[in-house]
Amino acid sequence: MKPDSVTIILNSGSGRKDGQDRKKSIEDRFKHHGIKASFVAFEPNSDLAKVAKTTAQSDPDTAIIAAGGDGTICGVAAGLRGLPNQMGIIPSGTFNYFARSLNITETVDEAVDVIAAGLTRNTDIAMINDRVFLNNASIGAYPAILQTREGVYEKWGRSRIAAYWSVAKALARFRSPLKLTITVDGKSFKHRTSLVFAITNAFQLREMGLNGEECIENGGMVLLIAPDTNRWKLFKHAASLALGIAKPQTDYEMHCGNEIDLDLRSRKRPVACDGELSRMKGPFKLRMQRDALTLIVPVGSETTVR
């Protein structure tokens, strides 16, 4: 059912940073459909979940639209979890894994057309402690890559090539393997590794060249653990992951679980959730929250594994 009104939470810094032009395009397309549209701006360091929650609670009948990349979409989803508002997506990030997993195109007009059609599905989300993630969460080398990536983006602009270059640059300096106890659905084992990567998006797994869709279809999450190795092999493993040629049991040890605990000695560590970096206190508990969002999706995406 077509929404009567929408509120767009717009990240003008995503993708090509063409925020003003995108805002006008979004506004015009909703007007074309006869839908009242308003915008909410936010500062780069804002608590996006709080912005989304406050916006939604002020009008439970309006649809809240996340216009940005995976980090923006994740932040808005965190604010909307458990609320009655429908959530729409207008993707404009670098990878757009979440939108692509739902077959939402990266053009403004087509994304708005999907929202105007008003077809919805209930969707699970994942949590690492109190943080939401929709695609992936990780500790170890990947958060280090994100820290490097922002500097690369600042100098060369946002692109997938720049993202891959930041992998090489970060891993050339990475020297901090993790010593942790991992518990998957009650079964514990010790590990020494440079990277732990949890994934709840089957589309992203396929993009990486990995199996595990059945695990996600059954409501679980996939945990990838990089082997304990030297820096050159670490680069090889990370590059294979980024380029989509990773091999299970060769490049990564793979586990499937509904409840995953990561217990480290250190009190706080950088954690990456859908491309956004923060410091979190362990131990880390990864859980699924069922039917936490009501998403507006294209025809054909109501029941598919995303």
pLDDT in tens, 206-238: 888 788 899 999 999 999 998 877 666 666 666
pLDDT in tens, 258-300: 999 999 877 788 899 998 888 999 999 999 999 999 999 999 8
Average model confidence (pLDDT) across the chain: 86
Q: Using CA atoms, how far apart are residues 239 and 170, in angstroms rounded to an integer?
A: 12
Angle (nearest 5°) at CA 158 between 207 and 99: 40
Q: For position 306, what pLDDT does the model report?
A: 83
CB 120 within 8 A of CB 296: yes
Q: For position 152, what pLDDT does the model report?
A: 66
Tell me 300's DSSP state.
Answer: T
pLDDT in tens, 86-114: 999 999 887 899 999 999 998 999 999 99
Q: How confident is the model over 50-62, as a mean pLDDT?
A: 96
Domains in the chain, CATH or no CATH each: 5-118 (3.40.50.10330), 132-289 (2.60.200.40)
Q: Count of residues for the chain? A: 306
pLDDT band of residue 117 (cuts 50, 70, 90) is: very high
Place of tokens 């600042």: 154
Q: What share of the chain in percent tops pLDDT 90?
A: 57
pLDDT at residue 137 is higher than 70:
yes
Spatial CA neighbour of 298 closest among 134, 110, 125, 122: 110
Q: Which residues of 114-150 are buried (b: 16+ CB within 10 A; e: fewer)?
A: bbbbebbbebbbbbbeebbbbbbbbbbbbbbbbebbe
Q: How confident is the model over 154-172, as a mean pLDDT?
A: 67
Statement: the pTM of the whole predicted model exceeds 0.75: yes
Q: How confident is the model over 251-264, as a mean pLDDT?
A: 92
Tell me whether the omega of the peptide bond preceding residue 283 falls within 30 degrees of 0, making it cis. Answer: yes
Q: Which two tokens stand for residue 143?
A: 């958060």
Q: For position 158, what pLDDT does the model report?
A: 65
Q: Using CA atoms, how far apart are residues 74 and 200, in angstroms rounded to an integer?
A: 13
Q: Using CA atoms, how far apart are residues 232 and 255, in angstroms rounded to an integer?
A: 24
**Which residues make Cβ contacts (< 8 Å) with residue 22, sequence separation at least 6?**
10, 12, 67, 92, 108
Q: For position 101, what pLDDT does the model report?
A: 93
